[in-house]
Structure 1
Amino acid sequence: MTLRLAGPLLLVGAGKMGGALLEGWLKQGLDPATVFIQDPALSEAMRALAARHGIAANDAPELPAPPAVILIAVKPDVTDRLLPEIEPMIGERTVVLSIAAGRTLASLSRYLPETAAIVRAMPNTPVSVGQGMTVAVANANVTAEQRRECDALLSGVGEVIWLADETLLDPVTAVSGSGPAYVFLLAECLEEAGVAAGLPHDLAKRLARATVAGAGELLRRSELEPAELRKNVTSPKGTTAAALDVLMGKHGMQELFLRAVEAAAKRSRELSS
């Protein structure tokens, strides 16, 4: 599928997440001539990506027409300052797609016209390899066509789920938005534990990365529940059972993840207030 928009795409902020989305969209065939980046502090990697594809990237890019989509991909504390700057760029058919963590539809609309169409979304970094998970919610001004355009962008880099209840985006952020970091931490811990058990560092690193990636792909493809897949690997009184007795014991992974997700969800709610 080749991505097509009804007009230009303005990317406001091209940090890690904005850049990951852009990389994913370019891989899906989005015409770089329709992309414009507004970011005064582009990383060297993003500057090289923009130059490689001939994408205009500066503090105030000149668009040939009102953008079809304006992607807000800046840190939450910068959003309030930037929104008034993009307000003049909004055309009749423009939809503002925000991935700023914790910024609600109501808080975004304070700095935009009353009629502004706004979609709030929470993607995660696997969008850069087309395996993202994004949850989105739209305000009442978003038309069916605008929703289809946002859906085309988001589903072009992974799976997308639309919700009607915006309050669910706080736990969504805690589970899938921040979730890749938890998985990367698991790989770190496996690697370190392998070294501590006597493995050479390079071997421990390869084993940890391949195991996490392979198990994730097996989970993605399987129709079985995670608990069933876990049991399929676990022989009674075997090596896996011995490890799981530790991981699933008192103060083990289940309790830690409950606390971790709640901490992330709480922080998301704080950013919203």
Structure 2
Amino acid sequence: MHEATVVGIIGGQGWMGRSLGLSLLEQGILPPEQLIVSSRSVNAEVYRDWPEVRCVRDNHGLVERSDIIVLSVRPQDLASLDIAVGDKLVVSLLAMTSCQALAQQIGSRRLVRAMPNAAAEIRRAYFPWFATPEVGGADRRFVQALLESCGMAREVSAERDLDYLTALSGAGPAYPALLAQSLLDHARQNGIADDMAREAVMQTLVGGCLLLERLETDPGEMVERLIAYDGTTAKGLQTMIDEGMERVVHRGLEAAYAAARAPGKA
């Protein structure tokens, strides 16, 4: 990373700002004296193990003292951010907010848009990010190190790709949670005790995903292999496919993608 670079996180005590700030400190990527965080209500307990971290309420002071600013606020709060950052590098974690909209609001054209998900809290996030042409090579390397402190980071070449990945990976645990809820409800309806149903569902989903990750195989190949085996799982899979599971998932992703491309709409 840049030597002696000061990072300021606006919203540094919210769930994402906190996850990013703590991971930078825990991994030694940034010394505590080079981190400033702001929030509406300062809670020093979040950074109690790093007393050198400066926790402030004043965003103007944070911007003035920082070399790189991370925006970790809700998209609807952007309009109320009365800051002028000059030509400093800004990393935005806001959904539904284009680089053009960011530049109009804060002034800088050295912009990076990144889309985290909730798994950042356990350092397993997927962080796609997009940079404007004004962001140089050294800044891009800094951003990569900054974001992958919370998991995996990957630069995309087009802003529309980031919008799509906002709908896909930005959902974090939402889609697995929906599947888990459906499986759990069905198990309960069939008389399985709640604690056992929950164990079975969570171990099936978590264990299955970890196995897919380790095998590094195409998920479609796994589905085809299990259907070809023609056992109980094959009957369940084929019925879900025939009933249009793929169509429903695609429609959901299209709806989320449309929202990601529509500033100001949820």
State the TM-score bracket (shorter-chain normalisation).
0.7 to 0.9
Q: 1:187 to 1:23 in 2, by over 3 A?
A: farther
Are positions 1:205 and 2:198 aligned together? Answer: yes
Alignment match, 2:215: 222
1:248 equivalent in structure 2: 241
Deviations 1:60-115 (A, max 9, x none): 17559732321101111111221x32x2xx476x310001001111111112335x
Task: Find the partner of 2:249 among 243, 248, 257.
Answer: 257
Displacement of 1:25 in angstroms is: 2.8
Q: Which consecutive residues of structure 2, in runs of 5 or more, have no partner in the other structure? A: none
Whether 1:104 and 2:88 are equivalent positions in the alignment is no
Cα distance in 1 between the residues matched to 2:143 and 2:137: 10
Q: What is aligned with 1:33?
A: 33
Q: Is the 8 A contact 1:135 1:172 kept in 2?
A: yes
Structure 1's unaligned 5+ residue stretches are none
Cα distance, 1:215 vs structure 2? 1.3
Deviations 1:172-191 (A, max 9, x none): 11111114210122222222
Relative distance call for 1:33 and 1:64 in structure 2 (3 A) is farther
Tell whether the 8 Å contact from 1:23 to 1:128 is kept in structure 2 after alignment.
no
Match of 2:46 in 1: 49
**2 CA distance for matches of 1:60 and 1:169?**
30
Q: TM-score, normalised by structure 2?
A: 0.87
CA distance in 1, matches of 2:234, 2:24: 43
Is 1:7–1:66's contact at 8 Å kept on the other side of the alignment? no
What is the deviation of 1:231? 3.4
After the TM superposition, which residues 60-99 of structure 1 pair with which residues of structure 2 at under 5 Å, given as runs? Answer: 60=58, 66-82=65-81, 84-85=82-83, 87=84, 90=85, 94-99=88-93
SS at match of 1:111: helix
The question of whether the paired residues in 2 share the 8 Å contact of 1:12 and 1:37 is answered with yes
* Alignment correspondent of 2:10: 12
Query: How many pairs were matched up?
Result: 261
Deviation at 1:164, TM superposition (A): 2.1
Change (3 A) 1:64 1:124: closer
* Structure 2 equivalent of residue 22 of structure 1: 21
